[in-house]
Every structure is written in C-alpha cells, then in structure tokens.
A = this chain, B = another copy of it.
C-alpha cells in the first residue's frame, strides 16, 4: 500500500489509521482553526480541513506529495459551534452545555490524491446524547484531563464514554475520522488496500 501523509496531530486519528493497517507518516499542519461567527458548520470544517491539505503542499515546496489525508471535527449544539476548549473553565462551561442534551459531531474529511488535483472533501454527522451530568461528575471528568485538545471537550473512547447515553451514526466520526466515509474516498480515488 502507498504511504499516506496524515495532516493531523490527533492521537485518535493516528490510532484509527493504525488499526486499519494503512501505512502513514504524520505531519501536523500549523494552521489557525478558529471559526468565524457567520460560517456554517459544514463551511467551517471544509475550510479548515482543506487548509490543512494546502499547508502540507506548502511544506513540500517543489516536491509533489501524494495521498494527503486531513480532517476537522467540530461539535454543533442547537446551531452553535463548539470547538476545542481553551482552558479548564471553558471545558467546564462546554460540559454544562452538553449535559443532558443531544449534540451533533460534524467532520469534514479531505483526501488529496496528488498535487495539482482538487482534494476530495466529504462531511459526516453523528448525533451524540450526553447523560445529565452532576457537578461532581463534571469535576471528576475535568480532572481526567481528557477535555484538552478535542472538540466538545470529551473523548468517547475514554472516561467520556461513561457519560454518553447513545450515539446515532458513525462512531469513528466521533473519534475524529469517519472510517466508512474514508473507505468510500479511498475506493473512489483508486487507493489500493491490500
């Protein structure tokens, strides 16, 4: 199989890709992930995911990178976009918002087959229901440190899973890389899985 370039620093994306036995190397792009107030969720994840691909192309300068994979994930609660908490206080506020409610996890995922082509970008949405969290539960969860560096301030496959009543849709999307959609992109780009 051809080696991919994973344009992401996310340990969850790395973990999923490793489980799928796809050879890859990691180049975390250094881009501004802030979201402007009048962007829709889909616009935001598309813009950020494709900016990550662009950044890799810039890093490679005169070389022509192939198979650049990136993604961006946000949380949408009743139309409000929730990104990565910037502090423990911000994470606390986020968990209070998510507690007892259904939110949507939205990812944009981009795959560039080779420089010069357009990246293929697709979108995936998963509904996630949080149980009602008590003050003590929120305090416990903040103490695990899992809130850091992740959209919505929780990780589904860690202690965050304690507080998730159900999900509807792609579970890997909630981890940051929707595998079923990624697979369709691989197939449509003629990437050969062996």
Using a CB–CB cutoff of 8 Å, the interface residues on chain A facing chain B are 15-16, 19-21, 131, 140, 143-144, 155-159, 161-172, 174-175, 179-180, 182-183, 193-194
Bound form: Cα–Cα A165–B126 in Å:
11
Q: How many copies does the complex hold?
A: 2
Bound form: Cα–Cα A174–B46 in Å:
30
A158 nearest in chain B by CB position: B19
Bound form: Cα–Cα A159–B155 in Å:
21
Bound form: Cα–Cα A193–B144 in Å:
10
Q: List 13 A-B contacts (CB under 8 A).
A: A16-B157, A19-B157, A20-B159, A20-B162, A21-B159, A131-B180, A157-B175, A162-B183, A164-B171, A165-B180, A167-B167, A167-B169, A171-B171
Q: Assuming the A-B contacts A20-B162, A144-B21, are A156 and B180 also in contact, with contact meaning beta carbons closer than 8 angstroms in the complex?
A: no
Q: Assuming the A-B contacts A21-B144, A180-B131, are A167 and B161 also in contact, with contact meaning beta carbons closer than 8 angstroms in the complex?
A: no
Q: Are B179 and A164 in contact, with the CB atoms below 8 A?
A: yes
Q: Are B171 and A168 in contact, with the CB atoms below 8 A?
A: no
